[in-house]
Amino acid sequence: MGYGVRLLVWGEYACFTRPEMKAERVSYDVITPSAARGILESVHWKPAIRWVVDQIHVLNEIRFDTIRRNELGSKISANTIKSAIKGKKPMKLQVITMKEREQRMTMMLRKPSYLIEAHFELTAHAGETDTAEKHYNMFIRRARKGQCFHRPYLGCREFDAHFAYVEHDEAISESFYRDSPDIDLGWMLWDIDYSREMEPIFFRPVMRQGIIEVPDLLKKGGKQG
Amino acid sequence: MKNERTHQPITKRYDFTILFDVTNGNPNGDPDAGNLPRMDAETGHGIVTDVCLKRKIRNYIEIVKQGAPGYGIYVTEGAVLNEQHRQAYYALRGEDGAKAAKLEPKDKAEARELTQWMSDNFFDVRTFGAVMSTKVNCGQVRGPVQFTFARSIDPIFASEVTITRQAVTQEGQEKDREMGRKHVVPYGLYRMNGFVSAHLADKTNFTEEDLQLLWDAIVNMFEHDRSASRGEMTLRKLVIFEHQSGLGQAPAHQLFDRITVQKVHDRPARSYKDYQVSIERETLPEGITIIEK
Q: How many other CB atoms are there within 10 angstroms of residue B222's CB atom?
A: 20
Q: Is some CB atom of chain A closer than 8 A to the CB atom of B135?
A: yes
- Highest mean pLDDT range out of A158-172, B62-76, B156-170? A158-172
A16 with A146: CB under 8 angstroms?
no
pTM for this model (two decimals): 0.82
The predicted structure's pLDDT at residue B187: 97
Residue B216 in this model has a pLDDT that exceeds 90: yes
Average pLDDT over every residue of A134-142: 94
Q: Do B113 and B104 contact (CB within 8 A), yes or no?
A: yes
Q: Could you tell me if B263 and B154 are in contact, meaning their C-beta atoms sit under 8 angstroms apart?
A: yes
Q: Cβ–Cβ of A96/B253 closer than 8 Å?
A: no
Percent of chain A scoring above 90 in pLDDT: 64
Out of B31, B111, B197, name the one closest to residue A149 (CB): B197
Considering only CB atoms, B114 lies closest to which of A78, A142, A150, namely: A78
| Backbone phi and psi for residue B188, each to the nearest 5 degrees, phi listed first | -155, 135
Whether residue B40 lies within 8 A of chain A, CB to CB, comes out as yes
Name the DSSP letter for residue B158. -
Q: Average model confidence (pLDDT) for chain B?
A: 85
Residue B91 has pLDDT above 80, yes or no: no
Chain A residues touching B38 at Cβ < 8 A = 67
Any residues with CB less than 8 A from the CB of B242 and at least 6 apart, and which?
A: B12, B14, B288, B289, B290, B291
The share of chain A scoring above pLDDT 70, in percent, equals: 92
Q: Which residues of B touch A103 (CB under 8 A)?
A: 31
Going by C-alpha positions, the residue among B185, B145, B227 that lies closest to residue B30 is B185
Q: Is A86 part of the contact surface with chain B (CB cutoff 8 Å)?
A: yes
Crossing angle of helices B107-121 and B83-103, in 10° steps, is 150
CA dihedral A98, A101, A103, A106 (to 10 degrees): -130
Where does the pLDDT of residue A224 fall: very low under 50, low under 70, confident under 90, or very high at 90 and above?
A: low
How is residue B38 annotated by DSSP? P
Q: Which of A76, A88, A142 sits opposite B130 (nearest CB)?
A: A76
Mutate to test the interface with A, among B195, B200, B202 (most CBs of A within 10 A): B195
**Four-residue CA torsion sign, B258, B264, B267, B269:** negative
Q: What is the number of residues in chain A?
A: 225
- How many whole angstroms separate alpha carbon B261 and alpha carbon B274? 10
Q: Which one of B10, B56, B114, B204 would you mutate to disrupt binding with A, by most A Cβ within 10 Å of its Cβ?
A: B114
What pLDDT digit, counting tens, does each position of B234-266 carry? 999 999 999 999 999 999 999 999 999 999 999
**Chain B positions in Cβ-Cβ contact with residue A75 (cut-off 8 Å):** 131-133
Task: Tell me which residue in B80, B138, B252 faces A94 most closely, judged by beta carbons.
Answer: B80
The CA distance from B255 to B287, in Å, is 12
CA distance to partner chain A, nearest, from residue B99 (Å): 9
Which residues in chain A (109-148) have CB-CB distances under 8 A to chain B?
Answer: 142, 145-148
Measured between CA atoms, how close is A194 to chain B, in angstroms? 8
Touching check for B261 and chain A: CB below 8 Å? no
Nearest to A55 by CA among A133, A119, A136: A119
Residue of B nearest to A84 (CA): B90
Strands (E), chain B: 14-25, 29-30, 36-37, 45-48, 75-76, 129-133, 140-142, 145-147, 150-155, 159-165, 178-196, 232-243, 259-263, 275-279, 288-292
The per-residue pLDDT for A85 is: 73
Other beta carbons within 10 angstroms of residue B197's beta carbon come to 26
From chain A, the residues in CB contact with B114 under 8 A are 78, 81-82, 85
Query: Nearest Cα to A68, choosing from B154, B257, B47, B90?
Result: B47
User: DSSP labels for chain A?
Assistant: -TT-EEEEEE-SEE--B-GGGTTTEEB-SS--HHHHHHHHHHHS--TTEEEEEEEEEE-S---EEEEEEEEES--EEHHHHHHHHHT-SPP---EEHHHHEEEEEEEEEES-EEEEEEEEEE-TT--TT--HHHHHHHHHHHHHHT--SS--BSSSTTSB-EEEE--TTSPPPPPTTTTSPPEE--SEEEEEETTSSSEEEEE--EEETTEEE----PPTT----
- Sign, Cα dihedral of B124, A81, A38, B51: positive
Question: Helix (H, G, I), strand (E, B), or coil: what is residue B198?
Answer: helix
pLDDT, tens only, A97-122 = 777 788 899 999 999 999 999 999 99
Alpha-helical regions (H) of chain B: 50-65, 83-103, 107-121, 123-128, 198-204, 208-220, 252-256
How many angstroms separate the CA of residue B220 from the nearest CA in chain A?
Answer: 22
A110 to chain B nearest CA, in Å? 11
Q: Tell me whether B146 touches chain A (CB under 8 Å).
A: yes
What tens digit of pLDDT does each residue of A48-67 get? 999 999 999 999 999 999 99
Name every residue whose Cβ is closer than 8 Å to that of residue B78 and which is 6 or more positions away in sequence: A96, A98
Phi, psi of B63 (to 5 degrees): -70, -45
- Return d(Cα B47, Cα B34) in angstroms, integer: 15
Among candidates B49, B76, B148 on the partner chain, residue whose Cβ is nearest the Cβ of A94: B76
Tens digits of residue pLDDT in A140-164: 999 999 999 999 999 999 999 999 9
pLDDT score at B133: 63
Residues in chain B: 293
Quote the pLDDT of residue A222: 62
Q: Is B137 in contact with B143 (CB distance < 8 Å)?
A: no
Contact with chain B for residue A159, Cβ under 8 A: yes
Q: Quote ipTM for the complex.
A: 0.75
Q: Poorest-confidence range of A177-191, B76-90, B219-233? A: B76-90
Q: Which residue of B has its CA nearest to A192?
A: B137
Centroid of chain to Cα B172: 45
* Cα–Cα distance for residue pair B188/B155, rounded to 1 Å: 8
Q: How many CB pairs under 8 A join A and B?
A: 160
Question: From CA A143, how far away is CA A9, in angstroms rounded?
Answer: 11
Q: Any CB–CB contact under 8 A between B20 and chain A?
A: no
pLDDT confidence bin for B80, thresholds 50/70/90: low
Report the residue of chain A nearest B2, measured CA to CA: A85
Angle at A39 between CA A37 and CA A45, to 5 degrees: 70
Closest-CA distance, B150 to chain A, in angstroms, reads 10
Distance CA B145, CA B196 (A): 5
Contact A65 B40 (CB under 8 A): yes
For A159-198, the pLDDT digits (tens) are 999 999 999 888 888 999 999 999 999 999 999 988 877 7
